A and B are shown apart, each in its own frame.
Chain A
Amino acid sequence: MVAKAVWRPDIKELARIEGQKRPVESGHRLCAGCGAGIIIRQIAMAARKPLVWINATGCVEVATTIFPYTSWNVPWAHNAFENAAAVGSGVEAARKKLARVNRFEGDPDIELDYDVIVLGGDGGTYDIGLQAISGAFERRHKIMYVLYDNEAYMNTGIQRSGGTPFGARTTTTPVGKVIKGKPLFKKPIMDIMVAHGIPYAATVSPAYWNDALVKFRRGFETEGPVFIHAFSTCPLGWGSAPEDTVKIMKLAVETCVFPLYEVVDGEYRLTGPSVSIAKNPDRKKPVEEYLKLQGRFRHMFKPENKWMIEKFQEWVDRQWETLLKRAGY
């Protein structure tokens, strides 16, 4: 069940929250311009209760913890790569049981009223972790699974994943003499998750912070499993300038490479700039504007590879048309 009343972030309130403890302290080793750091911050800003944070193996895990240090100010656990959703299931079930019997009643040192957030990258979500997420969603655990999608296995050195887009150069889809980058398209991860009949799923581009915060909050307020697909620029893996991170996050939405929408109890709704693009198709920018800022697509701009940009554009158009139909446009 999705909460009816929509929470609106108040800029003064956010400034106050920002002045308080952050979920992840400065000093972590995420790269300059990494999208994941922004996503973590936005999740915490939208929290309504204390959080218990489960992390799949990946960039965020290695960059925020190295014994004996940790950047985390919230209870945090990492087990392995493919099982974060299963771990989250266990935490949620334990919380439910322990709260039901008031196990720690009278113990001022233990808090059981919290939300469970599970964070995984595209490798941990599209590929190796898909089964555990599917199981957790089928079982209707009240967890919010956030995918920070930087579109390749960045932690192990930029290898392609099921989330890597067509044409992108990675270390396992190099631009060779015969095969130029990734010959396949992204797996439709939102469709797969929505097909589980979960009450709430949404896409988030951190550049649109207001839209992102509303969706994260809505996710927390939803009874049942929630999937948030967050777009996460990776300057290292994408060959983009760190200062262009937010610009790329915006262009992904403006070109409809990554439209903003939410699926509430099966009903599709466009949000943010995607609404105005739907109403005014002229505002939809060509994919080149998005692609040209990233070294991973550079080879596609050579005259002999122009067909790749066309193919990319066709795919984006087709996805966008499907979404428009679903959203009633």
Chain B
Amino acid sequence: MAVQKSVGQTMMALNGDEAVAWAVKQSNVDVVAAYPITPQTIIVERISEFVHNGEVDMEFIKVESEHSALSASWGAALAGARAFTATAANGLALMWEILYITASTRTPVVMAVVNRALSAPINIHNDHSDSMGARDSGWIQIYSEDAQEAYDNTIMAFRIAEEAMLPVMVTLDGFTISHTLQNVSVLPDEVVSNFVGVRKIPRIKLPHIYGEKEIPLMLNPKYPISFGPLDLFDYYFEHKVQQNEAMKASVPIIEKVHREFAEISGRSYEPVHMIPYKTEDADVVLLGLSSTMSVVRKVVDELRSEGKRVGAIRLRVFRPFPADMIRKELSKVSTVGILDRSLSFGAEGGPVFMEVRSALYSSSSKPTVYNYIYGLGGRELPPKLIKKAFDELLEAKEEPEKPVIKYLGVRE
């Protein structure tokens, strides 16, 4: 993604974590509750510095665990605050219970997940097993390719979360992005502040209690509401279906916020949910997430110069999953390789593969689909292995009887 010049932006040398911290600093966040975990630590360190130097007016609750980090963020959001938290790997796993509760109570918390491998064995490096494990928790998930995008996505996430009334997870690859210095175009404070505003409290009607009066949806003694009641077989099912509808309804909100952000920043991530690269006439496409895709695009350029018709698709929004868009984009492609940086143990392939392949099942012209698992625990994916995958896919002719799952870069 080329960084376009826009009036008033400052080019800063920031790593991905710092870029997130800057976005939080500028986004009128009222409460941060977070617990340090590698490789997310720089986010909490920078925010602490901003708070301790009086550069930002927020309450930073330095909680004693990630479970409490999300619980406190939930309480803060319910009390009317804009709340942010950040974590990685085991920290996200510890939040698991509260991930579902946050989404199911439609609480707009924003969280940065600095993707790191899950234990055991303990490993601090990048893969996507943490956020992929949370893919069904009801959070919107946006995967960032670089530090610039981590900054941009974090700012947009507050708008998306509050308008969709759903929590948003912004991910960035551990170390590869979180700890790598990059030129980041930082918007002026007032531009970001105007873009996100301060948290607006939604108003709802509870006719059986408050008649036609529209009351603030928050913990508020003026108009008491009970949040988190017991809800059994007579209503739970409907609430879950409604929650799923809310996820679908977030699609146009996500698109609108991206359009408006492009206007203030000059950075457009069109068409938002996924970004195709040289796919118009491609026979073979590699589809994947996050920082890996910048390397894949470079390989695409090299292979194109050799006359090979290859392309790439970077999936940005994994939840809600852009199935229609994927069907359309892949309808003219003969073979597609899905890059998964996590495993789904005992399943027929990685999570991205299963989603994409399932989306293609109802397509009239479906490509042959292969799965490449790569990069677990931070294992590198050098260009030569990406080339190898492309070459295999170019040779593949027919849909195999069983899904083909290959490991890239693992010792036999």
Contact = CB atoms under 8 A, between A and B. Distances in A.
A329 B201 CA distance: 55
Contact of B198 (A85, A103, A109, A132): A103
A70 B223 CA distance: 14
Nearest to B72: A90
A79 B57 contact: no
Interface string A67-79: 1111011111111
A90 B221 contact: no
Interface in B1-36: 30-31, 33
B64 A77 contact: no
Given A78-B228, A91-B76, A96 B67 contact: no
B216 A83 contact: no
Across the A-B interface, give the 9 residue pairs with the lowest CB-CB distance, nearest first: A90-B75, A135-B64, A50-B221, A65-B229, A90-B72, A86-B68, A94-B81, A83-B71, A94-B79
22 contacts: A61-B230, A70-B229, A72-B226, A75-B219, A79-B98, A86-B69, A86-B75, A89-B61, A89-B72, A90-B33, A90-B73, A90-B75, A90-B83, A98-B30, A109-B216, A109-B223, A110-B201, A110-B216, A135-B68, A138-B64, A139-B61, A139-B62
A134 interface: yes
A207 interface: no
A70 B208 CA distance: 12
B236 to A, nearest CB: 8
Interface string B200-231: 01000000000000011011111111111111
B253 interface: no
Contact of A135 (B31, B65, B223): B65
B61 A110 contact: no
Contacts of A89: 33, 61, 63, 68, 72, 75
A7 interface: no
A93 B220 CA distance: 15
A91 B79 contact: yes
Given A52-B219, A74-B224, A90-B33, 15 more contacts: A50-B221, A54-B75, A62-B230, A67-B229, A73-B224, A77-B219, A78-B229, A80-B101, A83-B98, A86-B72, A91-B219, A93-B72, A94-B75, A109-B222, A138-B64
Contacts of A139: 61-63
A95 B75 CA distance: 10
Nearest to A85: B68
A268 interface: no
A97 B68 contact: no
Contacts of A78: 227-229
Contacts of A86: 33, 63, 67-69, 71-72, 75
Contacts of A95: 79
Interface residues of A, number: 52
Contacts, number: 174
A74 B198 CA distance: 26
B241 interface: no
Interface of B: 30-31, 33, 57-59, 61-65, 67-69, 71-81, 83, 97-98, 101, 105, 198, 201, 215-216, 218-232, 235, 239
A249 interface: no
A224 to B, nearest CB: 15
B71 A94 contact: no
A104 interface: yes
Contacts of A83: 67-68, 71, 98
Contacts of B227: 76-78
A133 to B, nearest CB: 10
Given A72-B224, A79-B71, A132-B64, A67 B231 contact: yes
B226 A65 contact: yes
A75 B76 contact: no
B78 A77 contact: yes
A229 to B, nearest CB: 21
A82 interface: yes
A100 interface: yes
B57 A51 contact: no
B235 A67 contact: yes
Contacts of A80: 71, 97-98, 101
B91 to A, nearest CB: 14
B64 A90 contact: no
Contacts of B69: 86
B61 A90 contact: yes
A260 interface: no
A66 interface: yes
A97 B220 contact: no
A101 interface: yes
